């Protein structure tokens, strides 16, 4: 007799990606390898993760992880910092070598964008894209309905993710 598992494999992959990302954030706050932000960016370092605002590295739309030459993109910490033409606060993390969840975090860039398709990966040396949020109403992307804050050491990041990550969060809104 065979049985099938009652779960959606695509949703499971998204949940695994979210859990790997949480591990990346924890690693960054515990002194993971962090590189310099791209040339020409404004940055600050908090708890091991580099936050940078740069038009050349900020997510722009669903088909692009780069908005080269678009000086209209602004740095943000939440959607409240953004405008009607670019209402989403998007974070892009470049990960380095390692094995999930122990990937090093090279850079983290935060910028307002018109679109911010979430990209959670289950391997290192990739780009992760997160939609930052202040409340669950900011989380309108299918599959990522939960706005949760993760905090470890001096690093804190609040982003939209799958419901499965709620138990790992410091707080969900």
Q: Are 89 and 82 in contact (CB under 8 A)?
A: yes
Q: Is residue 121 part of a domain?
A: yes
Point out which residues pair with 42 in neighbouring strands. Answer: 53
- Segment (H or E) for 113: strand 105-113
Query: In angstroms, rounded to a whole number, what is the distance separating the alpha carbons of residues 159 and 148?
Result: 6
What pLDDT is attached to residue 141?
96
Residue-level pLDDT at 5: 38
Domain range enclosing 60: 32-131
Evaluate whether residue 36 is within a structural domain: yes
Tens digit of each residue's pLDDT, the chain (173 residues) = 444 434 343 444 444 444 445 544 433 333 333 333 333 333 333 333 333 333 333 333 333 333 333 444 578 999 999 999 999 999 998 888 877 666 777 888 999 999 999 998 878 899 989 999 999 999 999 999 999 998 755 567 899 999 998 988 899 99
Decide if 147 is inside a domain: no
- Number of compact structural domains in the chain: 1
Position 86 scores a pLDDT of 95
Instruction: Show the DSSP H helices in the chain as ranges.
Output: 9-29
Q: Could you tell me if residue 78 is inside a domain? A: yes
Specify if 54 maps to a domain: yes
């Amino acid at each position: 007799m065979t049985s099938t598992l009652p779960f959606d494999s695509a949703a499971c992959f998204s949940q695994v990606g979210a859990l790997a990302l949480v591990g990346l954030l924890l690693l960054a706050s515990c002194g993971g390898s962090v590189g310099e932000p791209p040339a020409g960016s404004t940055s600050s370092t908090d708890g091991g993760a580099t936050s940078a605002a740069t038009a050349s590295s900020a997510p722009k739309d669903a088909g692009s992880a780069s908005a080269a030459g678009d000086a209209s993109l602004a740095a943000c910490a939440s959607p409240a910092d953004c405008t009607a033409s670019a209402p989403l606060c998007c974070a892009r993390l470049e990960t380095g070598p390692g094995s999930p969840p122990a990937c090093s975090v090279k850079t983290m860039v935060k910028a307002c964008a018109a679109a911010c398709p979430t990209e959670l990966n289950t391997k290192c040396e990739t780009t992760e894209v997160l939609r930052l949020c202040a409340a669950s109403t900011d989380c309108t992307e299918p599959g990522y309905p939960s706005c949760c804050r993760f905090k470890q050491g001096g690093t804190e990041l609040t982003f939209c993710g799958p419901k499965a990550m709620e138990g790992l969060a410091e707080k969900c809104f």
